[in-house]
């Protein structure tokens, strides 16, 4: 472990730990195993994933998607086994096997295939997870225990008015208000932490009647290995499908966060090593009674922005949480459950892909259909089935589009208006000999979910001293939602470094998509979009003249 960025890593880890604390408590409660399970998961996964993982700045711990599945595992096990004490062995074994499967994914080098998941599938899935989190907090927000199934939540809605606690509702609403309003004053302190501290103090001071977290375990957590060894062989068959679901979801969640970290730090993670590190962390967390988790995007970005650059920052984050549970656990007991529900509602809102949903009428109909279908299946059917069906739909629809394009290109030998573009390899008119900081990126063929990840990687190949990047679009007949958002991320990253990005020869379908989603003019101004390479060459000459003067 490198120590060349000691100050930045310590500060980044401390900041990430402070952000992680209220989320770990909330996710632990939502899982059904208690707030301490969330903290144990954050501590042990955060520590060992940082040490053995493949992303230097990754902060790992319980996340919304993983907690949704974990809570389902807990509720099903309790029903089947007749109580939490009898179900604990199955629950821990499920979490343990989830980590083992992640290690297996890493050893089989499956990590590299995660990037091929289409954006509409991810968008629908993540939005579905966000909706599930929000729905399950409706009852806790008013001081009641939540039903175990989405359908049961809707069936029992009439009991909200008769059995609800108005004080709890006001506490939850106040928590949400503080989380959203406090950052307008300062962002130096995480608003979720401020909300929990303020609300807990108010509840104790005024002796408000509302359900609390209650007593937390004291001292270092004990091993729960005996719970697994006591299982009967007939029960083991119950855990495989949930374990694979958790492993796959954790892999997706973690590697997406790794990509975000790469884009911010301009580095490249080791996806298979990251899966192995996540697996080791989840195995150890399960043995100490912690819930499984994954790489957490918000906490990772907070770490990076606070100076974290190496694995030491993740270790510091875990150590801080351990010190908190050893020294401040007795104070956590005074936090109201409705306040944690308020925290989780804001988490659910943040997980919902509002950008994707807003664009549902502006993207190709096939992408919109996939997104909505996956969202519905995620909420009302099954998470793993939702992703699987979404992948099949995306693959079939793309093969149909590819077939249609081949037919259009081979059935007629007519001259296209795009043929006036100069030869692909002949770019002498650009006068690049006068420029040492102009780069050309040539896109050839459809820009779809299968190549979106490659486009994202290209930004890291552009030197920091580049002044202009030209995207040649002559041979791009089709772009889907994944490709659009990948291009948008690349362009924004280049613009962040002061690079001018220009486009030439945009065909009708990509142009329609760009304008419908305001990629043009909000991301790339129209003055940087050229009908052909000659117009771009003339613009470059004008820029060169001004530079010379």
* pLDDT tens-digit readout, 188-243: 788 888 898 899 999 998 888 888 887 777 777 777 766 655 556 666 667 888 99
φ, ψ (nearest 5 deg) of residue 483: -65, -40
The confidence band for 410, taking pLDDT boundaries of 50, 70 and 90, is very low
Cα–Cα distance measured from residue 532 to residue 505, given in angstroms and rounded to the nearest whole number:
5
What would the DSSP string read from start to end of 171-223?
A: HHHHHHHHHHHGGGT-SSS-HHHHHHHHHHHHHHHTT----B--PPPPSSPPP
Q: Which secondary-structure segment (H or E) carries 471? A: strand 468-475
CA 208 vs CA 73, 161, 336, 387: distances in Å: 33, 19, 10, 44
CB of 518 closer than 8 Å to CB of 486 = no
b/e for 30-61, b at 16 or more Cβ within 10 A?
bbbbbbbbbbbbbbbbbbbbbbbbbbbbbbbb
Burial label for 27, CB within 10 Å (0-12, 13-18, 19+), is buried
Q: Grade residue 57 by pLDDT with cuts at 50, 70 and 90.
A: very high
Tell which residue, 452, 454, 456, 459, has the closest CA to residue 478: 452
Q: Which residues contact 403 (CB under 8 A, 6 or more apart)?
A: none
- At 53 the pLDDT is 94
Topology of the domain covering 426-548: Transcription Regulator spoIIAA (3.30.750)
The pLDDT of residue 441 is 81
- The encoded tokens of residue 376 equal 């519905």
Pull the structure tokens for residue 40: 């144990």
Alpha-carbon dihedral angle through residues 149, 151, 153, 154, given to the nearest 10 degrees: 180
Q: Which residue has the tokens 């402070």?
A: 18
* DSSP letter (8 states) at residue 479: B
Q: How confident is the model at residue 409 (pLDDT cuts 50, 70, 90)?
A: very low
Distance, CA of 233 to CA of 287 (rounded, Å): 19
Across the chain, mean pLDDT equals: 83
Is the pLDDT higher at 92 or at 399? 92
Give the pLDDT confidence score for residue 450 in this predicted structure. 62
| pTM recorded for the entire structure | 0.73
Q: Looking at 2-16, 90-104, 168-182, 333-347, which range is the least confident one?
A: 2-16
- Residue 408 pLDDT more than 50? no
* Per-domain boundaries in the chain: 6-353, 426-548
């Amino acid at each position: 472990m490198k120590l060349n960025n000691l100050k930045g890593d310590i500060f980044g880890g401390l900041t990430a730990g402070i952000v992680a604390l209220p989320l770990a408590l909330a996710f632990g409660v939502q899982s059904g195993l208690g707030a301490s399970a969330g903290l144990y998961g954050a501590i042990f996964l955060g520590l060992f994933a940082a040490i053995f993982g493949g992303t230097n700045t990754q902060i790992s711990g319980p996340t919304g998607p993983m907690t949704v599945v974990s809570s389902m595992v807990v509720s099903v096990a309790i029903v089947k086994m007749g109580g939490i004490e009898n179900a604990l062995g199955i629950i821990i074994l499920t979490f343990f096997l989830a980590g083992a499967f992640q290690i297996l994914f890493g050893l089989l080098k499956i990590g590299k295939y995660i990037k091929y998941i289409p954006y509409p599938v991810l968008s629908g899935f993540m939005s579905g997870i966000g909706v599930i989190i929000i729905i399950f907090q409706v009852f806790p927000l008013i001081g009641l225990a939540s039903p175990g199934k989405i359908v049961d939540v809707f069936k029992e809605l009439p009991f909200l008015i008769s059995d609800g606690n108005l004080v709890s509702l006001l506490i939850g609403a106040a928590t949400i208000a503080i989380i959203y309003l406090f950052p307008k004053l300062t962002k130096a302190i995480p608003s979720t932490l401020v909300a929990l501290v303020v609300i807990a103090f108010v509840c104790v001071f005024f002796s408000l009647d509302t359900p609390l977290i209650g007593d937390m375990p004291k001292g270092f957590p004990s091993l729960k290995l005996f719970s697994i060894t006591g299982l009967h062989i007939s029960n083991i068959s119950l855990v495989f499908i949930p374990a694979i679901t958790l492993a796959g979801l954790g892999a997706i969640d973690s590697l997406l966060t790794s990509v975000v970290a790469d884009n911010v730090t301009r580095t490249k993670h080791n996806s298979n090593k990251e899966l192995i590190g996540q697996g080791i962390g989840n195995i150890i967390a399960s043995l100490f009674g912690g819930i499984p988790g994954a790489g957490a995007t918000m906490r990772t970005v907070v770490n990076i922005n606070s100076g974290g650059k190496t694995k030491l920052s993740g270790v510091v984050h875990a150590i801080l949480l351990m010190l908190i549970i050893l020294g401040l656990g007795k104070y956590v007991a005074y936090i109201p459950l409705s306040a944690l529900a308020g925290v989780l509602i804001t988490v659910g809102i943040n997980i919902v892909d509002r950008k994707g949903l807003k664009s549902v009428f502006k993207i190709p109909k096939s992408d919109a259909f996939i997104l909505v279908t996956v969202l519905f299946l995620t909420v009302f059917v099954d998470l793993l089935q939702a992703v699987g069906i979404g992948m099949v739909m995306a693959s079939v629809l793309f093969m149909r589009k590819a077939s249609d394009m081949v037919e259009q290109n081979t059935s007629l030998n007519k001259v296209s208006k795009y043929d006036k573009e100069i030869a692909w390899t002949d770019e002498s008119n650009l006068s690049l000999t006068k420029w040492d900081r102009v780069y050309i990126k040539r896109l050839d063929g459809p820009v779809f979910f299968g190549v979106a990840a490659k486009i994202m990687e290209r930004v890291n190949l552009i030197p920091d001293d580049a002044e202009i990047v030209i995207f040649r679009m002559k041979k791009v007949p089709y772009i889907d939602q994944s490709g659009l958002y990948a291009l948008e991320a690349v362009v924004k990253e280049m613009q962040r470094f002061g690079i001018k990005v220009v486009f030439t020869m945009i065909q009708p379908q990509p142009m329609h998509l760009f304008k419908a989603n305001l990629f043009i003019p909000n991301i790339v101004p129209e003055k940087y979009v050229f009908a052909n390479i000659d117009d771009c060459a003339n613009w470059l000459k004008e820029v060169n003249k001004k530079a010379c003067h």
